[in-house]
Amino acid sequence: MSIAKENEMQDVVREILADYDQGRPIDRREVSTQIDEKAVVGVVQKLLRILFPGYYRKKSYTPHDDERNLSFFIEEIEFQLTRQVAGVLRGQPDFEEADEPAVRREALRLVLAFLHRIPALRELVNTDLEATFDGDPAAKSMEEIVLAYPGLLAITIYRIAHELFLLRVPLIPRMMTEYAHARTGVDIHPGATIGRYFFIDHATGVVIGETSVIGEHVKIYQGVTIGALSTRGGQKLKGVKRHPTIEDNVTIYSGASILGGETVIGRNSVIGGNSFITRPIKPNTRVSIKNQELQIDESDGETFCERDLQQGAWFYTI
């Protein structure tokens, strides 16, 4: 490297270091408080093996020694998760004056409380697996669903994250659901409340907001948004119910957008594809889009148009 180039590179380094000293949120450099994203993902992957012991088992583990295998995983999860939870707690106002042992004790308390929830968590996940198998005629086996269905993976990771969210663990639940988002294309906020037997078919493009409430036996397809009407209020809207309520036994087809904290989709309703809903829907209602125009350009140059589709026609993609 020439002297001139080396000097210019050093100038660049000095400029960036000077920029770090402005005191903005992006200027934080305390490595000791940084969360290890890889460790969080590792915890999720180990938890998947615990939730589905016969599906995600390592080849080096023997099935006749479940206690030893499980003990190893639990110890690894406790160690890694406690470290990460302690890291996020240190940045919270309640722990600004706390010493390190106090932070570690609280982190361990939260992690142990979470670990005690695993049997109940497995019961919920089992209902989601059953709902997926019962709801999809293309499913050949439970194994296919566990290992190859992105919807179930996204729901399972959400359920893990939701338990930590309920324990008021900061940041880590959101990191977990963002890992699921990257893997599956499904964005479920860990704060959403979702009942048993939840099924997301095809998965990609689904968004479920923080204050959404979803009942039992709900089935949704790809591209569905259960979101807020507007977030222009920013932090002033924190804690306000901004997202819809979906009652039991509702089916929502692809591309539908259901928005607003006062929007309630009544039980046993069916929402057609591409619907845009911002007001309550009564129970036992079928919502569909009509008066669409279909145009087909044939090779001979003629165009076929179909207008005013008969009432009850459906437009959705499966």
Name the pLDDT band for 304 (thresholds 50, 70, 90).
very low
Taking each helix axis from N to C end, the angle separating 100-115 and 66-90, rounded to the nearest 10 degrees, works out to 140
Please tell me whether residue 202 adopts helix, strand or coil conformation.
coil
How many whole angstroms separate alpha carbon 244 and alpha carbon 280? Answer: 9
At the second CATH level, the architecture of 192-318 is 3 Solenoid (2.160)
pLDDT, position 4: 87
pLDDT, position 301: 54
Bridge partners of 250, per DSSP, are none
Q: In sequence order, what E strands does 46-111 have?
A: none
**Mean pLDDT of the residues in the chain:** 88
**Chain segment 70-102, per-residue pLDDT in tens:** 898 899 999 999 999 999 999 889 898 899 999
C-alpha separations of 151 from 137, 187, 202, 239, 269 in Å? 15, 11, 6, 28, 21
Name the pLDDT band for 27 (thresholds 50, 70, 90).
confident
Domain residue spans of the chain: 30-187, 192-318
Listed residue (215, 184, 214) closest to 201, CA to CA: 184
Listed residue (309, 307, 273, 313) closest to 293, CA to CA: 307
For residue 127, pLDDT beyond 90: yes
The CATH class of the 30-187 domain is mainly alpha
For residue 33, pLDDT beyond 70: no
In this structure, is the dihedral angle defined by the CA atoms of residues 40, 164, 226 and 152, taken in order, positive or negative?
A: positive
C-alpha separations of 76 from 57, 71, 157 in Å? 15, 9, 18
For residue 312, pLDDT beyond 50: no
pLDDT, position 315: 42
How many whole angstroms separate alpha carbon 276 and alpha carbon 279? Answer: 10
Residues 6+ apart with CB under 8 A from 58: 49
Mean pLDDT, residues 115-129: 97
**Chain segment 131-170, per-residue pLDDT in tens:** 999 999 999 999 999 999 999 999 999 999 999 999 999 9
